[in-house]
Structure 1
Amino acid sequence: MQLLTYPRDSYSLDGEWQAIPDQYEMFRDYFDDFVDDEDGDSAALPDDEGQPALSFESIYEPSASGTDDITDFNIYDGYSVAVPSSWGEEIPEFRHFEGWVWFARTFDREAIDERDRTFLRFGAVNYKAEVWLNGERLGEHEGGYTPFSFEVSDELRDGENVIVLRMDNERYEDGIPNESTDWYNFGGVNRSVDLVSVPETYLRNFKVETTVGDDSVDVRVDAWLDGPDADAEASVTLPELGVDESLTSDSDGRLSAELSFDRDDLTLWSPDDPRLYEIELAYGTDAVTDRVGFREVEVRGSDILVNGEEIWLRGIALHEEVAGKGRALDTEDVQTRFQWINELSCNFARLAHYPHTEEMARTADEEGILLWEEVPAYWDVNFGDEDVQELYRQQLRELIQRDWNRASVALWSIANETDHNDETRNEVLPEMAEYVRSLDDTRLVTAACFADETDDGIVVRDPLEDDLDVVGINEYFGWYYGDSDDMQHFQDDPDGTPVVISETGGGAKWGNHGTEDDRWTEEYQAAIYRGQTEAAAANEQVAGMSPWILFDFRAPMRQNEYQRGYNRKGVVDQHGRKKKSFHVLRDFYTSNPRQ
């Protein structure tokens, strides 16, 4: 169960850390096979006076670094980098480095407001992480975009404590994502690091689910405890709604409460009115507070409904990236994204192709923007490998349990552009869809798929459609093939599965002008947007769209004279300058298509 940290008081470990690149992977136990003392421990070569001069202790041992020896690393004096950060952006000479990097910092125990138990929590480390505290190994984590934590209650020492982290941002054939992606591999401690202290038995996480009826709104609250004591009283409070109810234990070991309201007694969350209510859960001496919205998302025929009312998703897709900063967004960066999203008159955004910072979903709650969130099951995943399948489930679980209380999150996506002719993929992805529903069946399950051109028109032949609530279609008519308005030939079924055009568009370099027939010009891209939006609005089964993409982003495979390492399909460039397509899309959305 994901550790709930956001509403809790915590001690931030953000700030200056020391980074040490380890391209040859030498600093972790490398010399153990060469030099051992009589006890089998790491030894050291003596100097002329018989004193150790060169330490063979591994880098995670605090005593292995210092100023009195000639060890080839020093965790107290490496490259100074900020955390959170994409470390190659912090140190330009390592911008393209992929491999092991060690991070270290110290903190004083007296600075922590300790309770009975303390956890060390990382918001995200790309891609693999292994962590030590005071030389004691805490554990490891794989996956570059989701949070993880370790209990450190027994490892904390009085006075100075030393954290050492090994980050590995290599690309792996059996990883998720695997070796090939169409985005840049920003390595680093890309999100915040915190120490979180809690009572011996505490609220590990909770979930709020809403069912909307004609006259009533039913709310179920579930909570999970961690610890030996299960005898204290648990409660849920919604001050603005006059609720103060006990949580009761059920047969699954969860604490739960079921609440019911007259529909007129509360305001449902929606893009038009993103109303949030304060909620507090308490157990013994532990308490967590949050702000949640009550709403229901469902499908009826080819329509997507919010609180029983049809909505057409006016969206945009985006990556998590800032020029010069990589994937380490701050609050100002998040706000800038929502300024663009709101200026486009969007009510929807696709957070591609991996979990973005939690602050995006929390801000979307406030702004009334529905979200598509996904894990990086992208292109050629080794679906048949059982370890890969377990990693797949882990990443889904970590994302869902982090964001399942965000009213803005409407769709969980399980894959992007995977081969629908792959029989193994067609066996595994339906299982992942059901796994998502087992964690959270209050949202819609989707995936970004392909459409096929036939003599009868454009159709979806992906067998995964039968297991999805909403089908995403990635298509680039007018750019890679065909004409921009070819989606008018989609063989739509008004009673079929809702379709969201999850990607469409074309490339343009900002400031490059010409005619609508000149590729890579703003005019060419704008013409694609005019054709695509008109075709989408005319199709009954299309329930929305999220064109590709909000802003230009780093992509190593894109190297022609217009791109130079950037995917130029943004309606804004990487510096925030709007292209003509931005205004075409804004004008289309402000005309309220299908509403």
Structure 2
Amino acid sequence: MQLLVGPRETVSIDGVWQAIPDQYEQHDGYDEDYFDDLDQPDIEMMHRSIYEPEASTDADLIDYNIYDGYSVQVPSSLGENIPEFRGYEGWMWFAQTFDRSLIEDGDRTHLRFGAVNYKTKVWLNGHELGTHEGGFTPFSFEATDALEDGENVVVVRVDSKRYEDGMPEKMTDFYNFGGINRGVDLVTTPAEFIRNFKVGTTIADGAVDIDISAWVDASEPSEPVTVEIPDLGVETELEAENGPAFSGTISIPESAVDLWSPSDPRLYTVRLSYRGDTIEDRVGLREVSVDGGEVRINGEPIWLRGIALHEEVAGQGRALDSEDIRTRFQWLNELGCNYARLAHYPHTEEMARVADEEGILLWEEVPAYHDVNFGDEDVQELYRQQLRELIQRDWNRASVILWSIANETNHNDETRNEVLPQMADYVRELDDTRLVTAACFIKDTDDGLVIDDPLKGHLDVVGINEYYGWYYGDADDMRRFQDDPEGTPVVISETGGGAKWGYHGESNERWTEEFQADIYRGQTSALEDLEQIAGMSPWILFDFRAPIRQNEYQRGFNRKGLIDQHGRKKEAFDVLQEFYQSGRLE
């Protein structure tokens, strides 16, 4: 179960760390046995492992010093923070010290990472705490027994290589930003504490049912978990289930609750207590559902006016700060969006927290991208792990309405067609209060455009990635979509075309702003009368790094953004803005 950290008091150990590259992977006891056999103490010391703090201070001949490496800011993307390492993929050792006095008194201490790309191994004072695979989700290790009075030394080995059996797989159309991309915190808790909790909402017969589950970290939970929602005058106890789980339902008249919605993003403080531990969060109460071809919030249909975006800032990579996040929401609001697709991996959790405040609905996804080896059991377990870490992190965010399980995977692959429905079921086991989706393809037939993917029967909402007017066909070809108002809702999860900011010409000249703007005119005019289309998130809000994109207009960037990487708007921004704000979708 994910350690819920957002609402807790934490001690950040962000700041200046030391980084040591290890391209040949030699600093983790390389040839240690061989040099032990030589029985020459000085040579043995030269080949001690880098995670042993004393190895950096006991000899002058060693080839590293964790106290004096490259000074880097954490969080940061390595090649952005140290330009000479741009493009570097491999082992990098990071080290940081902190004093025990920084930590509040508590029975237990946890070391928590917001995200590290891609494989991670962590030591504290030479003691291994654990390992993690995956570059976009949080993880934590218990550090209590490894703590020492005075100075403590954290050593982190980050392997930023891409792997065929990884997730994402080795080839992607976005940049591989290695490093400790999100914050690192020390978290103190009592010996027994609430590890996580989940709030779900259903509306029926004039009542709002608030379903609350909690998980206690204790060998044998001996007391009830209490719940308070002060603004609703609610206080109750959850009932114990098997092992560490507690649950209960609070029923309140609908007239007494301000339901969360994009137009009124009301948040309530939900406070849980167990013995000496209290944790609270700001949670929106709302229900998301589908009815025929419609997506509904609190029973009311909504057309998802969206845009897709990557997690990237020029010169910073994926290490976004609060100002970067607020800038994204300024652009979303300026466009007239009520929805955003966070592609192609979990973004920082602050995105969902701000979306809760701003009333922006979210599609979140894991990087099951293109050519995943779905038949490999280890890959399947990694798949479940990343789904679990994302969902348990964000399942209290009212803004998140769609969990996406895949992007542009091969619908002719029989193994994929066996595994993805299993993953859809797994998502619903974790959280059945949201909608399951995936970004699929569309097929052009004599009868029109159809969704020819066996996965569609396992999804609540079908995403379609289509590029009419750019890679093929005409921009308004979606008019030929075989519309079924009673079918599964469809969201255009990607569409659009490329343009280099400042490059102008005729509307039929590729890579000009005019050409891109014309695609948006055709696409939006084709969609507005299709009843099964419940929204769109064109590709993409801003230009982003993409190593395979190397023609004279791109030079390492995907140029499909409405804004370039420096924040300069292209003409298509105004076209989409007019469509969203025109009222034609009401």
TM-score (norm 1): 0.97
The verdict on how the C-alpha distance between 1:115 and 1:498 changes in structure 2, with shifts beyond 3 A counting, is: same
Shift of 1:229: 4.7
Measured against aligned partners, the alpha-carbon deviations of 1:103-137 in whole angstroms (never above 9, x if no partner) come to 00111111111300110000000000001111111
Secondary structure at the counterpart of residue 227 of structure 2: strand
**Partner residue of 1:17?**
17
CA deviations on 1:404-443 (whole Å, 9 max, x unpaired) are 0000000000000000000000000000000000000000
Distance 1:216 1:258 in 2: 12
Secondary structure in 2 matching 1:528? helix
* Alpha-carbon distance in structure 2 between the residues aligned to 1:123 and 1:486: 42
Q: Secondary structure at the match of 1:34?
A: helix
8 Å contact kept, 1:18–1:77: yes
Contact 1:298 1:443 (C-alpha < 8 Å) held by counterparts: yes
CA drift at 1:558: 0.2
Letter in 1 for 2:516: Q
Any conservation in 1 of the 2:217–2:244 contact (CA below 8 Å)? no
**1:402 CA displacement:** 0.2
Q: Which one of 91, 96, 109 corresponds to residue 100 of structure 2? A: 109
**Structure 1 CA distance for aligned equivalents of residues 46 and 176 of structure 2:** 34
Distance 2:572 2:541 in 1: 10
Aligned partner letter, 2:466: E
* 1:35 match: secondary structure: helix
Please report how far the alpha carbon of residue 19 of structure 1 lies from its aligned counterpart in structure 2 after TM superposition: 0.4
Q: Does 1:561 align with 2:555?
A: no
1:79-228 to 2 correspondences below 5 Å: 79-228=70-219
**Alpha-carbon offset, residue 233 of structure 1:** 3.8
Deviation at 1:31, TM superposition (A): 1.9
Contact 2:495 2:538 in 1 (8 A): yes
SS at match of 2:146: coil
Percentage identity across paired residues of the two chains: 67
- Contact 1:271 1:367 (C-alpha < 8 Å) held by counterparts: yes
* Cα shift readout 1:319-361 (whole Å, capped 9, x = no counterpart): 0000000000000000000000000000000000000000000
1:297 to 288, 294, 315: 288
What code does the residue aligned with 2:233 have? G
Which consecutive residues of structure 2, in runs of 5 or more, have no partner in the other structure? none
Which of the numbers 429, 453, 457 marks the counterpart of 1:438? 429
Distance, in Å, in 2 between the alignment partners of 1:510 and 1:136 is 51
Measure the CA separation in 2 of the matches of 1:533 and 1:370: 20
Matching residue of 1:548: 539
Say if 2:67 is the partner of 1:76.
yes
Quote the Cα distance in structure 2 between the aligned partners of 1:71 and 1:120: 28
Matched residue, 2:582: 591
Query: Which runs of 5 or more structure 1 residues have no equivalent in the other structure?
Result: 47-51
The residue aligned with 1:49 is: none
Cα distance per residue 1:139-161 (max 9 Å; x no partner): 10000000001001100011111
Provide the residue aligned with 2:491 in structure 1: 500
Q: Distance in 1 between matches of 2:401 and 2:185?
A: 28
2:497 maps to 1:511: no
Q: Report the AA paired with residue 354 of structure 2.
A: T
What is the rounded CA distance, in whole Å, between the counterparts of 2:243 and 2:541 in structure 1? 43
| Residue equivalent to 1:7 | 7
- What is the DSSP-based 3-state SS (H/G/I as helix, E as strand, rest coil) of the residue aligned with 1:103? strand
Aligned to 2:527: 536
Query: In structure 2, what is the Cα distance between the partners aligned to 1:497 and 1:53?
Result: 66
User: 442, 455, 480: which is aligned to 2:471?
Assistant: 480
Please tell me whether residue 379 in structure 1 is matched to residue 370 in structure 2: yes
Is the partner of 1:519 in helix, strand or coil? coil
Question: Is 1:60 equivalent to 2:51 in the alignment?
Answer: yes
3-state SS in 2 of match to 1:28: coil
State the Cα deviation string for residues 72-121 of structure 1 (Å, max 9, x = none): 01000000001100011010010110000000011111111130011000
Structure 2: which amino acid aligns with 1:29? Answer: G
State the shift of 1:538 in Å.
Answer: 1.7
Deviates more, 1:205-214 or 1:364-373: 205-214
Q: Matched residue of 1:36: which SS?
A: helix
Structure 2 CA distance for aligned equivalents of residues 380 and 341 of structure 1: 31
Deviation of the 1:254 alpha carbon:
1.5
Match of 1:424 in 2: 415
One of 222, 225, 229 as aligned partner of 1:234: 225
Deviation (angstroms), 1:66? 2.5
Q: CA deviation at 1:53?
A: 8.8
C-alpha distance in 2, partners of 1:231/1:144?
Answer: 37
Contact 2:73/2:81 (<8 A) preserved: yes
Corresponding residue for 2:267? 276
Between the aligned partners of 2:156 and 2:583, the Cα distance in structure 1 is: 50
Give the deviation of 1:250 after TM superposition.
Answer: 2.2
